Amino acid sequence: MSTQEITLLPADNSRLSNFCGQFDCHLRQIEQRMMVEIANRGNHFKISGEEQAVKAACAVMHKLFDSTELELLTPEQVHLSMQDASIDEALEAVKAETAAQHQVTVKTRRGVIKGRGANQQSYLKKITTHDINFGVGPAGTGKTYLAVACAVEALQNEKVRRIILVRPAVEAGEKLGFLPGDMAQKVDPYLRPLYDALYEMLGFERVEKLIDRDVIEVAPLAFMRGRTLNDSFIILDEAQNTTVEQIKMFLTRVGFGSTAVITGDITQIDLPSEKMSGLRHVLKVLDNVEGISFTFFGAKDVIRHPLVQRIVLAYEAYEKKHSNP
């Protein structure tokens, strides 16, 4: 915050009255437009706000007061005086600075992770303020990566006691018995994106230790039935491949002190054609339920190789064209 004091000369009561407007309406107009606070006593004015906005407001006030020598000010003239290009640039700088100050960041041992763009910022903010969150959109939009970052931060700050990674193993029909190894090894191939994010944020050795101590737990969706998960950060990835019954079962596992993030892409459904995607269904069912957040990502949010964004856009255009002949 910055404060600047100015004195408008000459100290002419008639001109000051003209400048301030009836009931100080011109001052209030400047405050609202320039995002500052103005206090005055006579011809002495104190302007407070972001530095760039204060400077711009002072320039406007000097300009307007000069004009009172020859004309009667109106709200329209005050508005027009604030359309000056340099003032708009100053305001844009203030808005950008304010946005940066209010930017949501996630701190992990390996560094600070920030949301890129308004949608990712909104997604991070919602995860910190809602118990159940949905992130829906194409590959490369950061929905899973940011969810893992929030989980790691919550664990490090002792907001939760464990992280639970869940994913439907559709390719194996969720019949994992014939695959070699223990439960973690059986479902490993399906959780690789989650593991990669964890390794990047915590380091390989720490992740392995936390898995050994069950602080990070790997749980196929089929094995979640009957459990209640308290004080946990639960991530259900690839939720488009859940059935209606499975996603209902998962959502009713969430206990006290827990946060759940459900991510998926409804254009990448691998279920048999006769089965409806649980994610597609639940988006309609829970649409107006208080306390649940939804973030929808699009091609503009893709942060991978530029070609990925073009591919997503091409598929969207193709599907739109062929669904509306």
Q: What does the pLDDT read at residue 85? A: 45
Q: What does the pLDDT read at residue 311? A: 85
Beta strands in 199-244 (DSSP E): 216-220, 232-236
CATH class of the domain comprising 2-100 = alpha beta
Q: Domain locations in the chain?
A: 2-100, 103-323
**This prediction's pTM:** 0.62
CB 83: neighbour CB atoms within 10 A?
Answer: 9
**CA separation for the pair 170, 238 (Å, rounded):** 10
Q: What does the pLDDT read at residue 153? A: 92
Beta strands in 11-126 (DSSP E): 36-41, 44-49, 105-108, 111-114
User: 100: burial class by Cβ within 10 Å (0-12, 13-18, 19+)?
Assistant: exposed
Contacts of 109 (CB under 8 A, 6+ apart): 156, 201, 202, 203, 206
**CA separation for the pair 136, 267 (Å, rounded):** 10
Intervals of the chain under pLDDT 70: 83-103, 110, 169-190, 304-306, 324-325
Of residues 274, 222, 264, 258, the one with CA closest to residue 241: 264
Q: What does the pLDDT read at residue 99? A: 57
| Residue pair 50/98 in contact by the 8 Å Cβ criterion | yes
| Residue pair 27/65 in contact by the 8 Å Cβ criterion | no
**CA separation for the pair 275, 254 (Å, rounded):** 25
CATH class of the domain comprising 103-323 = alpha beta
Q: What does the pLDDT read at residue 307? A: 76
